[in-house]
Structure 1
Amino acid sequence: MTVPEKGRRLFEQAMRSFTGEGGKQDYATAAKLFEEAAKNGVVGSSKYNLGVMHKDGLGMPQDLSKAATLFYEAAMKGHPEAQYNLGILYYEGRGVDQDLEQSCRWFKEAADRGDLEAMHNLTLSYLEGTGVPADAVQAAAWARKAAEQGLAGAQSNLGTFYLEGIGVPKDIKQAVHWLQKAADQGHQDAIDNLGRAMTLMQAGGSA
């Protein structure tokens, strides 16, 4: 769907006020412009940014209930960051009643649209059976999707899964491969597990 030119201009002005790019940061002006942009066709991104402002109390009193409503409205427009943030609020019970199934629902929506943090959270949800039935294979699959796109936490998890045989066949070479990638990004758990994986590989791969 083509975004109306007026809505696009309003959203760009709102972002400049929100970030302070090219001038003074002005949250009050940003909020008004986001609201106008939403009325003029830029709904998802405008509602998402308004949600962030209400969640973090930027230029207005913090209001998690209002943030949840705005994230929901943006999420229904397919905005992945809004879907992820709504999942977090449901997980933590902030601004909404805690609902782990709804949390996972929105993480899944965001992950399907490429949000790496949502993929990471789905990994943990499937691993622990939080909001979804425990499923190590699904946990490993979501870890792989995020790991292949460079998320250090996912690379660490995938490497550990290969090291322990969780959701994937035990494979020390694959464990070292993914743990090394995460360790190169400074991920401490990966650094800790990499030494053990290297020792196992040098010993012939037996646990």
Structure 2
Amino acid sequence: MAWRKVLIIAGLILVITPVQADERAGMAAFVKGDYRTASLEWRPLAEKGQAEAQFNLGVLYDQGLGVSTDYAQAADWYRRAAEQDHAQAQFNLAVLYANGLGVAQSDAEAARWYRRAAVQGLSAAQFNLGTLHETGVGMSQDYRQAADWYRRAAEQGHAAAQNNLGLLYANGQGVTHDPVIAYAWYTVAAAQGNAKARFNRDQIARSLSPAQEQEGERLATEYRRSVRPPYP
């Protein structure tokens, strides 16, 4: 399905998270590429309930680093961290549900875990949740909700969300039809190298008057200035 291709834009979050003092041995080993030692150092901490260690161990199983690739194990460790409100683990668990890796495929479960990560401010989760609302996968189609989640991600600098928000403005879906605002968001995303946004901006520019295009550039500058650093 097309929506899966969109979700891949956000992908899995595979960056090992910052560690507490008692996890440094595992991090030192990971940085050196000694993934087996990293797994041995993190496992007892993960079993004691440390969310960061649980997430990190999930990443190792997800990618087959120092251990055999095992999506069921990855899902188990992600879930343990996710239930402690570890946003990155919630996101990765959602991706596994969306693709049926290590768990039974479930769009509804994917949406549930994306939402939990999104409300914590994770821009990748906000973008994916917006995509699910836009397409009606795992939930009822709701363009207003899609626009809301795209906006939250866009305001953190998420280029794909900026492009998709522009599309909603261009089509008047969930927001008032406004080609000038669409042009502005396309411009912001294009400045980050998003090829789709660059194409969309050039296409919509053909329908704008010089005054409208000038206003779109002004808004794009305003939007860029208001972008907040992303979480995490």
Matching of residue 36 in structure 1 with residue 44 in structure 2: yes
Separation in 2, partners of 1:133, 1:13: 46
Q: Which of 3, 11, 21 in structure 2 is aligned with 1:9?
A: 21
Paired residues of 1:44 and 1:79 also in contact (CA < 8 A): yes
Instruction: Show structure 1 runs of 5+ residues with no match.
Output: 1-6
Describe the SS at the equivalent of 2:105: coil
Normalising by structure 1, report the TM-score: 0.89
Separation in 1, partners of 2:47, 2:143: 44
Instruction: Show structure 2 runs of 5+ residues with no match.
Output: 1-18, 213-232
Q: Deviations over 1:79-129 (max 9, x none)?
A: 111000000000000100001100000000011111111111111100110
Matching of residue 19 in structure 1 with residue 31 in structure 2: yes
Paired residues of 1:10 and 1:33 also in contact (CA < 8 A): no
Separation in 1, partners of 2:158, 2:84: 26
Separation in 2, partners of 1:167, 1:134: 11
Paired residues of 1:159 and 1:178 also in contact (CA < 8 A): yes
Paired residues of 2:71 and 2:102 also in contact (CA < 8 A): yes
Q: Which has the larger radius of gyration?
A: 1
Matching of residue 70 in structure 1 with residue 82 in structure 2: no
Paired residues of 1:146 and 1:154 also in contact (CA < 8 A): yes
User: Over the residues paired in the alignment, what is the CA RMSD in angstroms?
Assistant: 1.6
Q: Which moved more, 1:194-203 or 1:165-174?
A: 194-203
Q: Which moved more, 1:103-112 or 1:196-205?
A: 196-205
Q: Which of 179, 187, 192 in structure 1 is aligned with 2:194?
A: 187
Q: Which moved more, 1:11-20 or 1:105-114?
A: 11-20
Q: Which amino acid aligns with 2:142?
A: D
Q: Which amino acid aligns with 1:13?
A: A
Percent of residue pairs identical:
37
Matching of residue 92 in structure 1 with residue 104 in structure 2: no
Q: Which of 136, 158, 161 in structure 2 is aligned with 1:154?
A: 161
Give the Å deviation of 1:12: 1.9
Paired residues of 1:52 and 1:67 also in contact (CA < 8 A): yes
Separation in 1, partners of 2:47, 2:60: 18
Residue 136 (structure 1) aligns with: 143
Residue 218 (structure 2) aligns with: none
Normalising by structure 2, report the TM-score: 0.80
Separation in 1, partners of 2:22, 2:35: 14
Q: Deviations over 1:126-162 (max 9, x none)?
A: 0110001100000000000000110000000011111
Q: How do 1:191-202 and structure 2 match up within 5 A?
A: 191-202=198-209
Describe the SS at the equivalent of 2:20: helix
Give the Å deviation of 1:19: 2.0
Give the Å deviation of 1:39: 4.7
Give the Å deviation of 1:9: 2.2
Q: Deviations over 1:43-94 (max 9, x none)?
A: 1110001001001100111000011011000100111110000000000001
Q: Which amino acid aligns with 1:46?
A: A
Q: Which amino acid aligns with 1:27?
A: Y
Paired residues of 2:118 and 2:125 also in contact (CA < 8 A): yes
Greater relative contact order (CA < 8 Å, ≥ 6 in sequence) = 2
Paired residues of 1:8 and 1:37 also in contact (CA < 8 A): no
> How many equivalent pairs are there?
194
